[in-house]
Every structure is written in C-alpha cells, then in structure tokens.
Structure 1
Amino acid sequence: MEHRKIHSFPEGFLWGAATAAYQVEGAYREDGKGLSNQDILNGTNAFHDTAVTADFYHRYKEDIALMGEMGLKSFRFSVAWTRIYPDGKTLNRKGIEFYDDIINELLKYNIEPMVTIYHFDHPYELQKAYGGWYSDCMIEDYLRFARTCFEEFGDRVKYWLTICEQNNIVLYPDLIGGYLEDVDIDTWRMQVTRVMSLCSAKAINMCHEIIKDAKIGASYSFPPSYPASSSPDDVLAAMNENDFRDFYGMDLVYRARQNPWVIRYYEERGIDIRLTEEDMEILRSCRPDFIAYNYYRTNVAKGCPLESGQIQPGFNLTGKKGSITYPVFPGLYQGTGNAALEKSDWDWTIDPEGLRISLRMLYDRYAVPVMIVENGLGAYDQVEDGKVHDPYRIEYLKKHVEQLQLAVCDGIEVWGYYVWSFVDVMSTSNGYNKRYGLVYVDRTDSSPKELKRICKDSYYWYQELLKVNGNILDRRE
C-alpha cells in the first residue's frame, strides 16, 4: 500500500530507548539486593555475568545526562525484583530509594519514565521454593511486587509494562533459568504462559485502581512468520508459528480467548490446557491500554510432518553466520532461513518492512494502540580514534523508522518507539560481543575496564531524528 500523502508522527510521540535491570545495573549484591535467577546463571558461560555489566547502578546520573543531552523523550527500564524484595517476601527500602532516584533524575530532564515490572529476573528464593513461574504461588508474590511499584512510583510514572516477552521466556526455556528439568517441556510452557497471563491481567486491573491516569500493557516478542513458499503446507505452517508462538499468549490477555486448535494440539498429546472459568473471568476483566512488543526480525516457516524429529530453537552464540538452530515442531512448523533478506552476524533477518507488517497484524487483531518497546541492531562495534562509527546501525534504524511512519500513514495508532538499547548492555545470549547501544561502554566480557561511555554516531543520528519528531519521509501530496 502506497500513500499519496505522508502523515507526520503525532505531537507527544514517545521517542525512547530501553534497558533491563540485570543487563545494565550491575551491583548485584549491593544495598540489600538478593540473588536473582539471572545472578545464579553467572559463570555458566563465558559472557553471562550480572556482577558489573554497564554499572548503571553507580553511573545512572551520567547516563541520564546523556539522554537529556540527546533530547530523549522517554526511557524504558525495568525494576529488579530482588532490589525491592530480595527474597521475594521482605521489602528492602534501599531498592525503593534507588528507583526513586532514577525516576526523579529522568523527570529533571523531562524524560518520561516507562517501567517494566518484570524483565527476566526474579528472586532465586522463589525459584527454589516452588519452581518460580511454574507455580500458582508466583501470582501472589508477583502481585505484591507490582503493588509496591505502583504505590511507590505511580505518582510519577504513567507508562507501565507488566511482563517482558513471556512468549520468548517459554520458547527458550533456559532464557530465565527457570525451567524444571523433571517437567515435560510442553506442560511447563503452557503452565508458565497461564501464570504469566493471569499475573498481567491482575496487575493491569490493580494498576488502574491505584493510578487513575496510568497507561499499562503487556510486552511480547513478535517476529511475524512468513511462509517459505506459496505451498498451502507452508502457508499453514506460518499461521501455526504465529498462532502457537505469539498469538496464543497475546489472545489470553487481550481477547480473553483460548485458541481452539492450540487446545486440540495439546489435547492430542495428553496435555489439558483448558483454563478454568475462574481464570477466564480474570482475563475477561482485564482492559489493557495498549499492546507492546519487541521487534528485531521476521521468521520463515515451512511444513513439518508428524514423523519429523523435534528440535528446540537455539540462539546463535558465536556471531558467525549460519550458527542459529531453527526449531522443528512436528505437525506444526519448522523454521528456515530467508534468502531474500540480509542477516546480521547472529542470523537475525534485517526486515524493516516486517515492522510495518507486524504493526498491521497486531492493530488489526487487537484494536488497541501499539508500542514498539525494543528495536535495534546487535553488531560488533569498534573504537577508532576515540569514536565509534556505526553506519550499519544508523541504516537499520533509519529504515525501520521510515516503515514506522508508513504504518502511521496506514492509520495505525502508535504511541511510542524505543531503541534497544541506550547504552551497551550484556546481551542475554552473547555478552559484550554483540552490542546494541547508542552509547558505547568500554568493556569486554572478561574485563569491565573503566566502563567509559562513548557516544556512537547512531547517538547523534537519533538526536537529530528527535528534533524533527521522527518525520523523515517526504511529505508528498
């Protein structure tokens, strides 16, 4: 669809950048913080170490000053559950004070805070006590944490996210260190999806009760799936990937609906995922203000016969193209590459038009405003003469913003766009080899060095974009 007239982004559009607590804060044992599931993963590979990361805990004023200098409109960050409730039960006022300081510092520069309540890190004590997200006990503990966030920060924070990427958490069971080895993986996935969805629904209702002018939604990963060919088998496989991977969980919170063919698929495997009427009542009572999602790439699916051997999806951990593990789910779909698109060194397709496609799909399905709360390019960045030149990132962001503006021309109500990430963070699956930041953090996986901040060329490009409210397409009539 082409447009004769190019529409501008609305005034007040939230041009932002994002981080997550365990990937950026460091200080993992300071001021009463307890151990999280992510902290327990320290040392399990060469790059996952939450002890220092970018040291945002001690350098937040320096980083927020750079946000202010850029003219950033909004900053999305997550609250570390273990700073507020170190063991999941006992309140730690030092944690409250830290996030108070962050919020106040942001407001000093007229930067709108967006708070993610849960972004992959929960108290390890809860994991040990009852298996974390696999247990209904998590609902009460999560809601205690959420209520504290609403009551302590709600006088200054208007925008909230309940849980980040619950669909990726269940797709990649090692992502949060919460998978129980003695539980069938499909049973675990569907129970965690249920518990997280109920938590989101209850937290959304609670937020509206406590903060009257709040805007709150849940956040998902959404890489739309394309069929590998025009074969009906491949078209159906792509539908299956979208329905099973993404829409099933979204539908619970945004439509209070269980997809019948997802129910039937698991029923045939001896797993009853039908929710109780009590659960459905909770979901029906939920009224999210917007849907948020993280967009980096698109997927490709092809038909997958029942007799195929199952293969779980896996990240490219090397940064060498061709190292990704595509999933094989017999009777549903199998993943494959896309020869029509360029790929990053980590095998993620670079597909700006896919952003517009994903916006159209979500807005059509859920009919609520949309937020892109993560978008960015992971790449090898180098310091040259004290500077970081990253034209590849600028090109990536520019093309995605162009497609975002075309989606606005389509009539989609988009509230915000957040680059991942503001500073370089510890990539969950690739450490500091894979950098996303607009600001370089001078460290390696093996040494934090001095953690010097260097604004990349993309920082200055985004600064100029903000001056024109993102309107970079010709306004043809």
Structure 2
Amino acid sequence: MNDIMIGFVLLLLLVAAQASINGDTIKRSDFPDGFLFGVSTSAYQIEGAYLEDGKSVNNWDAFSLSPSNIEDGGNGFVADDHYHRYLEDIETIQSLGVDAYRFSISWARILPRGRFGEVNPNGILFYNKILNDLLLRGITPFVTIYHFDFPQELQERYGSWLSPLMQEDYVHFAETCFKNFGDRVKHWITINEPNLFTQMAYKNGKYPPARCSPPFGNCSAGNSDVEPLIVVHNMLLAHGKAMKIYRRNYQQKQGGIVGIVVDCLMYEPLTDNDLDQEAANRGLAFYIGWVLDPLIFGDYPSEMRQYLGNQLPRFSSAESNFMKDGIDFIGVNHYTTAYAKDCINSTCSLTGNRAINGFVDTTRERDGIPIGEPTGIEVLRVVPRGMREMIEYLKKRYDNKPMFVTENGYSEPLAENENQNVLQDNKRVEYHKMYLSSLAQAISDGADVRGYFVWTLMDDFEWVHGYLPTFGLHYVDRETLNRIPKLSAKWYQDFLNPRYIREYIS
C-alpha cells in the first residue's frame, strides 16, 4: 500500500473513531446543572505595567531582558496592558456569558521583595478592584496564587525553587492572599502546572532560571536528572503547608476550596504492544502522578520509586501526613495527546527523542490530526478522545476526586497564521466543539467534573514563544492593543447563551 493510500485509510479510521464525538451537536444542556464555563488568563501574560505602582522585577522580566531568550524577542513589560484595561476586559468576559473567570496574582505586585519586605497596598487594591467587579457582574473568580512568576530577588537570594526557603516565601505569599482576598474567593489554585514548569525551567532550560544539562539542553548550569525532582518536591511541600494553614485558619470561615493545576498531557501506547502500554502507564505516572500522588496518597508513585531510587526525594512521616488528602479538587490543563514507546525491553531509535525513565514520547502521527508543522513552537495534535481518556484516568486513579478543566485551547500553526484572516478561526471552534463533546462523554460516564475554562480570553505573551501563538478568543492588535473578537468568541457566546441568535464574523 502506498503512502497516499495509507494516509487515506488512516483518515477513514480517524473519521470512524470521531463519529461518537460529534462536535456539531454539543450543547450547554449536555452538561450538568451548576457546571461552570469560563475563560482563563495569567498575570504575567496579560497585565504589563511591569514596574508600576510598586511592582518589582520578576523572574520573567529579568529573563526577557535578553531578547534571544524569547522567540520573537518580546517581553511582558506591556503585554496586553490588562493592568490599565481590566474594566474593559471584564466587560468582555461578561459579554461572553461565562460563569467564571480564572486569573492569577502577580507575586511581585503583592510582595515585591517576598517575605523580606512589606505588602504592596497598590497590588492589593488592583486585585480587590478585579474581584469586586467580577462579583458585581455575577462572575465567579478562580484565583491562581502562583502561575510561573515570582520576585527575581528570591532567585538571586537563594535560588528560588531549588531551595527549601522558597517554601516559606510561598506560604507567606499564599497566606497574604487568603487574608486579603479570601472573603470573596471561593476557588483557590495554589500552583499552576508544577510538572510543566519544572520540565521547562530545570530539565530543558527554556524557562527561567534556564538550568539544564546535556542531552536535554546546553545551559550554563544545572542537572536535568536531579534538579526537577528537587523543585517539584519543594513545590509540593509549599502547597501542603499553605493548604494546612488554609484549612486550619481560613476554610471554615471563608468557605473556599483549594486545588492544584496539573499539565495533563495524555499518553497512549505508540503500538498495541503490551510493552508500549506499560510505557504509556509509566509516562502518566511520571508526569501526572508525580504531582498528584503525594497530594492524595502521601507519597510519589511506586513507578517513580522503582526507577529513580534514592534520586527521588522522600517525605518525612509528618510531611506525608499533612500532604495526604491535601487538595479539594484537581485542576486539569489538557491540550493534546502524545504516544509512548517502551525503551526498557525494546530498542528506541526514534529520531529526536530520548528515552526517559523507560519510555519515550513521540509526536509520530498515528491517528491524531496534525495541525501543521512546527514553526518556532511545538505542534499540538488535535486528539479529542484524549480529553475523555485523561478524565477517565484521573477518575480511576484518584477515586473520582472533583475536577475542573482549568485550561483547554488551540493555537493556529504559525505558517497558517500568516496566510489567513486571524479572526476567522474555524479550527479553534471545531477544536472546542470536539473536546467539549469528549468531556461531556466522560461526565456522562460518571466523572465528577465541575467546570471548563477556555485558554484563553485574548492573545497574549505565551512565555518563550512571545506573541507568536494565538490561543485567544480575541485578537489583540499589537500596535493599538485593541481587542477584537474572533469567530470563536462569537461561537462561545452562542454556545453559552443558546436562546440568543448572533451574527458570526463574515
């Protein structure tokens, strides 16, 4: 069979596999009563005003001072200027008809010097205004305490997350947030994606502080095998200590719940081989169980203990006790699916991939839909069933702990961005339809999922990729910073408010 015929057969198989995920029929009424729909953002990616009103330089400000660190040479100094346009943005959020808005708090805006300085009243005022306006409009705030950005001083003083001192700084920051905002915030997220941040910052060296070692990267310092384990350990203990304080001093009075957000990349076996199935299971344990097992069961996954031995840090019995059952909900950031191949009992010869802990992940096309070739940013495959599979995995492994899908989104391939009307984002609309349909199936099968948040409200600063990716429901003109709704924004409005008939962008 030639390549064309193979591709045609795979396409037919894909269509058949997707028949049960008919995005065209998805409706808001397919979700339970009380299910929350929202949009997500993060502080550094949209706020700007990087040195205004008492905010200090944070780790991303310092990192992006070297334009070569960011693919388009950009930075978050102005970003989308949300700091000055927050009222306009909240009106936009309200116009979508969402129930909830997930945003994060800039650590350097609240505590410019961490616990070595005073609380910045201007920072408190800014987030108070956001919270009050959201609640006035009937929008539920979901607040992320730490979303990748922290005062640069903490890096320079003691190495930030590589040091246990960072646990105390984080707890001080978290309690400052509980004290000042907890009367209105009923949904807290302690840390966004410890697994992804650690991989990017301490294994691949692409995020600040850009630490790594060969063959993962060529950094000036770092150890890609050991440092990620130390960093996640400190993050988990920071979460656990903050959660202990919240439950003891705030939860009963304020009535909130606290979770953590995990980057939930789904792994499937590359082939039907049992060894590849085991590799996929290891991949899930090493990436997702790494964060969630300690916060639910009190220790790291047995798969990690087996392969990493003494390299993997240990919790004391006291730490294990307060870590166990240490979240009220799981935040699920799910975008795509990867395929795992066994590298323990098999030969791994996939170009550009390195066997890690006995498995290798690959973007080899099997039956996902490619969204284009990489052009500066990693390609995400559109595999809608991965949403259902991920939720089912979490449901089984963690006894159906309550979940919120805190991020799900799509960016056009860069090559396509250059050759089309960015407002006519049909592929994004189809992506959300298919992934929502897959999520609805998981819920109908009994998964306790309570909300879904689109990433993101508007095109923003996407970390090392700068302003190249376009995940937003709204286009942001980089010259004027005007927000312009895309087709996907109009679709989301109609999905959330089916009683209204709206005109799509022609």
Say which of 37, 54, 58 aligns to 1:32.
54
CA deviation after TM superposition for structure 1 residue 149, in Å: 0.5
> In 1, Cα distance between the equivalents of 2:75 and 2:470?
15
Counterpart of 1:93 in structure 2 is 121
**1:101–1:326 CA distance, 2 compared to 1 (3 A):** farther
Look up the SS of the partner of 1:460 in the other structure: helix
**For 1:161 and 1:10, how far apart are their aligned partners in 2?**
23
The CA RMSD measured in Å over matched residues stands at 2.6
Tell me how far 1:332 sits from its aligned partner.
Answer: 3.5
| Corresponding residue SS for 1:347 | coil
Name the structure 1 match of 2:290.
248
Secondary structure of the equivalent of 1:429?
helix
Q: How many residues align?
A: 447
Give 2:401's aligned residue: 368
> Cα offset for 1:38?
0.9
Q: Find the partner of 2:101 among 75, 78, 81.
A: 75
Structure 2: give runs of 5+ residues left out of the alignment: 1-16, 212-219, 373-377, 500-506
Q: 2:227 aligns with which of 177, 181, 188?
A: 188
Give the AA of the match of 2:355. Answer: V
User: Which of 299, 319, 333 is the equivalent residue of 2:360?
Assistant: 333
Measure, in 1, the Cα distance between the counterparts of 2:357 and 2:347.
Answer: 5
CA distance 1:393–1:336, change in 2 (3 Å): closer
TM superposition shift of 1:279? 2.2
Task: Describe the shift of the 1:404–1:47 C-alpha distance in structure 2 as closer, same or farther (beyond 3 A).
Answer: farther
Q: Label 1:143 to 1:398 Cα distance change in 2 as closer, same or farther (>3 A).
A: same
Alignment partner for residue 42 of structure 2, among 17, 20, 30? 20
Change (3 A) 1:327 1:292: farther
Partner of 2:464, secondary structure, is coil
Which of 471, 487, 494 matches 1:464?
494
1:80-102 C-alpha deviation (Å, 9 max, x unpaired): 00000111122111111110111
Stretch of structure 1 that moved more, 123-132 or 343-352? 343-352
1:273-300 CA deviation, whole Å, 9 max, x = no partner? Answer: 232223212212x442111110000110
Residue 438 (structure 1) shift: 0.7
Alpha-carbon distance, 1:12 to partner:
2.2
Contact 1:310–1:329 under 8 Å retained in 2: no
8 Å contact 2:340–2:359 — kept in the other structure?
A: no
TM-score, structure 1 normalization: 0.88
List alignment gaps of at least 5 residues for structure 1.
312-323, 444-448, 470-477
Query: What is the aligned counterpart of 2:80 among 51, 54, 67?
Result: 54
CA distance in 1, matches of 2:267, 2:420: 42
1:338–1:246 distance in 2 versus 1, CA, 3 Å? farther
Aligned partner (choices 379, 387, 402) of residue 355 of structure 1: 387
Deviates more, 1:301-310 or 1:77-86: 301-310
Q: Contact 1:240–1:333 at 8 Å: present in 2 too?
A: no
- What letter matches 1:177 in structure 2? P
Counterpart CA distance in 2 for 1:307 and 1:8 is 44
Residue 362 of structure 1 aligns to a residue whose secondary structure is: helix
2:191 aligned counterpart, secondary structure: strand
Give the Cα separation in 2 of the matches to 1:115 and 1:308: 45
Alpha-carbon distance in 2 for matches of 1:330, 1:370? 28
Partner of 1:475: none
Q: Give the Å deviation of 1:243.
A: 1.1
2:298 pairs with 1:271: no
Question: Is the CA contact 2:229–2:312 (under 8 Å) kept in the aligned structure 1?
Answer: no
Aligned mates of 1:454, 1:93 — CA distance in 2:
33
Assess, with a 3 A threshold, how the Cα gap between structure 1 residues 279 and 186 changes in structure 2: closer, same or farther: farther
Question: 1:47 touches 1:432 (CA, 8 Å); kept in 2?
Answer: no
| Distance (Å, rounded) in 1 between the aligned partners of 2:296 and 2:148 | 21
2:307, 2:357 within 8 Å by CA — same for their partners in 1?
A: no
Provide the rounded CA distance (Å) in 2 between the counterparts of 1:385 and 1:249. Answer: 40
Q: 8 Å contact 1:88–1:141 — kept in the other structure? A: yes
Q: Quote the Cα distance in structure 1 between the aligned partners of 2:129 and 2:270.
A: 50
Q: CA deviation at 1:71?
A: 1.2
Cα distance in 2, alignment partners of residues 450 and 310 from structure 1: 49
Q: 1:230 is matched with which residue: 272, 277, 286?
A: 272
Spell out, residue by residue over 1:176-213, the C-alpha distance to the aligned partner (whole angstroms, 9 max, x if none): 41354544222211111111111112222322331321
Q: CA distance change for structure 1 residues 309 and 134 in 2, over 3 Å: closer, same or farther?
A: farther
| Alpha-carbon separation, structure 2, partners of 1:168 and 1:383 | 28
Partner of 1:437, secondary structure, is coil
Post-superposition, which runs of at least 4 consecutive aligned residues in structure 1 deviate over 6 A?
A: 306-311, 381-387
Q: Is the 8 A contact 1:423 1:436 kept in 2?
A: yes
Matches of 2:448 and 2:137, distance apart in 1: 27
Q: Judging changes above 3 Å, is the alpha-carbon distance between structure 1 residues 272 and 296 closer, same or farther for their aligned structure 2 residues?
A: closer
The aligned amino acid for 1:60 is Y
- Match among 156, 178, 185 for residue 128 of structure 1: 156
1:325 to partner: Cα distance: 5.6
SS in 2 for 1:148: helix
Tell me the CA shift for residue 66 of structure 1.
1.0
Equivalence map 1:73-472=2 (5 Å): 73-89=99-115, 90=117, 91-173=119-201, 174-180=205-211, 182-208=221-247, 209-212=249-252, 213-267=255-309, 271-284=311-324, 286-305=325-344, 326-329=353-356, 331-345=358-372, 346-366=378-398, 367-379=400-412, 380=414, 388-443=423-478, 449-468=479-498
Match of 1:415, SS state, is strand
Contact 1:296 1:377 survives alignment (8 Å): yes
Q: CA shift at 1:468, angstroms? A: 4.6
Provide the identity percentage. Answer: 34
Aligned pair in 2 of structure 1 residues 396, 147: CA closer, same or farther (>3 Å)? Answer: same
Residue type matched to 1:392 in 2? K
